[in-house]
Structure 1
Amino acid sequence: MCRSSTLILIGLGFTALTAPTLAPATDVENSQHHRFEIERLGQGFSHPWGLAFLPDGDLLVTERPGRLQRVDAGTGERRRIEGTPDVAATGQGGMLDIALHPDFDTNRYVYLTYSAYGRGGMTTHLGRGVLDGDTLRDFELLYAATPYSGGGRHFGSRIVFDDDGYLFMTMGDRGRRERAQQLDNHHGKLLRLHDDGGIPADNPFVDDEGAEPAIYSYGHRNAQGMTLHPETRVLWLHEHGPRGGDEINLPRPGLNFGWPEATFGTEYHGPEIAPDPPVAGMEPPIHHWTPSIAPSGMAFYYADAFPEWQGDLFVGALAHRHLERLRLDGTDVVEQERLLQGLGWRIRDVRVGPKGHLYVLPDRSSTPLLRLRPAD
Structure 2
Amino acid sequence: MSATDGMRADWAQKDFYAELGVKKDATAVEIKKAYRKLARANHPDSHPGESAEARAKHEKFKKVAEAYDVVGDPEKRKKYDEMRELYAGGGFRGGFPGGFGGGAGGAGAGGFDLNDLLRDRAAGGAGGGFGDMFGDLFGGGRQRPQQRRPRKGADVESGATISFTDALEGVTISLRLTSDAPCPDCNGTGGKPGTKPHVCPECEGAGFVVASVGGAFSMNETCPACGGRQLVYDEPCPTCHGSGRGLSARTIQARIPAGVKDGQRIRLRGKGAAGESGGPAGDLFVTVKVSPHRLFGRKDDNLTLEVPVSFDELALGAEIKIPTLGGAPVTLKVPAGTPNGRTFRVRGRGAARSDGTRGDLLATVEVQVPAVLDTEAREAVEAYRAATSSRPLRANLFKDA
- Give the alignment's TM-score, normalised by structure 2: 0.21
Which protein has the bigger strand share? 1
Structure label with greater radius of gyration:
2
- Give the alignment's TM-score, normalised by structure 1: 0.22
Which protein has the bigger helix share? 2
